[in-house]
C-alpha cells in the first residue's frame, strides 16, 4: 500500500487508502485520527515515479497463487526462460515474495549480489536478455530469515519498482507471494500508473494428476465460474523440481517432455494475449 509510515502497525492500510484510520489494524496507532480525517490522502509520488521508470516496459505480467507449494515461482521462472528464448526479446523477472524468495535458487543465481550504478540498482543477469531482481540478492546467506512487518515489505517493493535500472523490456514478470497480502495490494497500487497486461493464477488440483484428485471441479470449474480462460495444465514431473533445485531451465533440460510441451502451450497463449492487447490499443488510438 502506498504511503505506509515506517512505525505503522502490521497490516496498516496506508494513508491513501479508503480504510485509513478505520480498519481494525489502526486501533492504537498514534496517527489514527489524522488518517481518518482524510488529511493524509495525497497521492503517493512514487506511483508517478514508477510509471515513468517502467514506461519502457511493454508488458507486465503478475503471477499469483491462492496458497503456497503449487508451483507459482517455478512457473514464473519458466515463463521468463521461455520468453527469453527469443533472443530479440528483453525479459526481466521480479521476485516480490519478500519473506520466501526462492527465485535466486530456481534461476541458478544463489550467491549473486546486486550492484549500485548511477542509474539505480543493477539486476542480476541469467543471460544477456534475462534479468532478475530479488531480496535474496540482498541477504548475506540464503538461510537468512526475512521477518518484516507490512510497511517495510511495501517499501522494498517500491524500491524494486522505482530504483532498479530495468532498461527497455518486452516483458516484466512479477512473482508474488502466495495468498493475498499487503504485497499484492502494494504491487497493484504502485503499478496503477502503468498498465498491467494481466495475471496468471497457478492452482491445484487438476485432472491430469490423480495424486491430487479434484474435489470441487479444480481449475476448470474456477475458470468457468469466473469467466476466465484456462491457459493449460502442467502434469507432474519430478524432473521439474530437480531442474529448479539445480538452477536450470526444465524447458531446456527436457524439451520434449509432456510437461515442457504444456508449458510452451501456456507461454504461447500469454504471448498471443499480450500481442492482441497491443493491437487493440493501436486500433483504439
Residue 219 resides in a domain: no
40-44, 154-158, 219-223: which has the minimum mean pLDDT? 40-44
pLDDT in tens, 63-113: 999 888 888 999 999 999 999 999 999 999 999 988 888 999 999 999 898
Q: Are 4 and 151 in contact (CB under 8 A)?
A: yes
Quote the percentage of the chain above a pLDDT of 70: 86
Residue 37 resides in a domain: no
Residue 35 confidence (pLDDT) above 90:
no
Q: Are 214 and 205 in contact (CB under 8 A)?
A: yes
Residue 1 confidence (pLDDT) above 50:
no
Q: How far apart are CA 150 and CA 14, in angstroms?
A: 10
CA separation (Å) from 26 to 4, 14, 110, 151? 12, 10, 38, 13
Quote the percentage of the chain above a pLDDT of 90: 45
Question: What is the predicted pLDDT for the residue at 72?
Answer: 93
What is the residue-averaged pLDDT of the chain? Answer: 85
Q: Give the total number of structural domains in the chain.
A: 1
Residue 40 resides in a domain: no
Residue 214 resides in a domain: no
Q: How far apart are CA 67 and CA 219, in angstroms?
A: 14
pLDDT band at 117 (very low <50, low <70, confident <90, very high): confident
Question: What is the predicted pLDDT for the residue at 205?
Answer: 60
Q: Are 47 and 40 in contact (CB under 8 A)?
A: no
Give the number of other CB atoms < 10 A from CB of residue 189. Answer: 22
Report the DSSP pairing between strands 198-202 and 91-95: unpaired
Residue 150 confidence (pLDDT) above 80:
no
For residues 126 and 14, the model is more confident at: 126
Question: What is the predicted pLDDT for the residue at 2?
Answer: 45
Question: What is the predicted pLDDT for the residue at 10?
Answer: 65
Residue 218 confidence (pLDDT) above 60:
yes
Residue 189 resides in a domain: yes
Residue 127 resides in a domain: yes
Residue 179 resides in a domain: yes
Question: What is the predicted pLDDT for the residue at 18?
Answer: 63
Question: What is the predicted pLDDT for the residue at 40?
Answer: 52
Residues 6+ apart with CB under 8 A from 285: none
Q: How far apart are CA 37 and CA 284, in angstroms?
A: 41
Q: Are 73 and 97 in contact (CB under 8 A)?
A: yes
Question: What is the predicted pLDDT for the residue at 284?
Answer: 74
Closest CA to 170 of 84, 63, 283: 84
CATH code, domain with 187: 3.40.50.300
Domain of 71? Answer: 49-202
User: What mean pLDDT comes out for the span 126-145?
Assistant: 87
Residue 231 resides in a domain: no
pLDDT in tens, 191-209: 988 889 999 999 876 546 5
Amino acid at each position: 500500500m502506498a504511503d505506509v509510515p515506517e512505525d505503522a502497525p502490521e497490516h496498516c492500510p496506508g494513508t491513501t487508502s479508503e480504510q485509513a484510520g478505520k480498519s481494525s489494524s489502526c486501533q492504537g496507532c498514534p496517527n489514527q485520527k489524522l488518517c481518518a480525517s482524510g488529511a493524509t490522502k495525497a497521492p503517493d509520488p512514487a506511483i508517478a515515479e514508477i510509471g515513468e521508470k517502467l514506461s519502457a516496459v511493454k508488458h507486465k505480467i503478475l503471477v499469483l497463487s491462492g496458497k503456497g507449494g503449487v508451483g507459482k515461482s517455478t512457473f514464473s521462472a519458466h515463463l521468463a526462460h521461455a520468453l527469453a528464448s527469443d533472443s530479440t526479446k528483453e525479459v526481466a523477472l521480479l521476485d516480490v515474495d519478500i519473506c520466501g524468495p526462492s527465485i535466486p535458487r530456481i534461476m541458478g543465481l544463489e550467491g549473486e549480489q546486486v550492484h549500485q550504478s548511477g542509474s539505480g540498482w543493477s539486476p542480476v543477469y541469467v543471460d544477456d536478455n534475462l534479468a532478475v531482481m530479488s531480496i535474496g540478492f540482498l541477504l548475506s546467506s540464503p538461510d537468512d530469515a526475512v521477518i518484516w512487518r507490512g510497511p517495510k515489505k511495501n517499501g522494498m517493493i517500491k524500491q524494486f519498482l522505482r530504483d532498479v535500472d530495468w532498461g527497455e523490456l518486452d516483458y516484466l514478470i512479477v512473482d508474488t507471494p502466495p495468498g493475498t497480502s499487503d504485497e499484492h495490494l502494494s504491487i497493484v497500487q504502485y503499478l496503477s500508473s502503468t498498465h498491467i497486461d494481466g495475471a496468471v493464477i497457478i492452482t491445484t488440483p487438476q485432472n491430469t494428476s490423480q495424486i491430487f484428485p479434484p474435489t470441487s471441479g479444480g481449475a476448470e470449474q474456477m475458470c468457468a465460474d469466473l469467466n476466465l480462460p484456462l491457459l493449460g495444465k502442467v502434469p507432474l514431473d519430478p524432473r521439474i523440481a530437480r531442474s529448479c533445485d539445480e538452477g536450470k531451465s526444465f524447458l531446456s533440460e527436457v524439451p520434449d517432455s509432456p510437461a515442457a510441451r504444456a508449458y510452451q502451450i501456456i507461454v504461447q497463449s500469454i504471448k498471443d494475449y499480450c500481442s492482441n492487447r497491443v493491437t487493440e490499443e493501436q486500433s483504439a488510438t
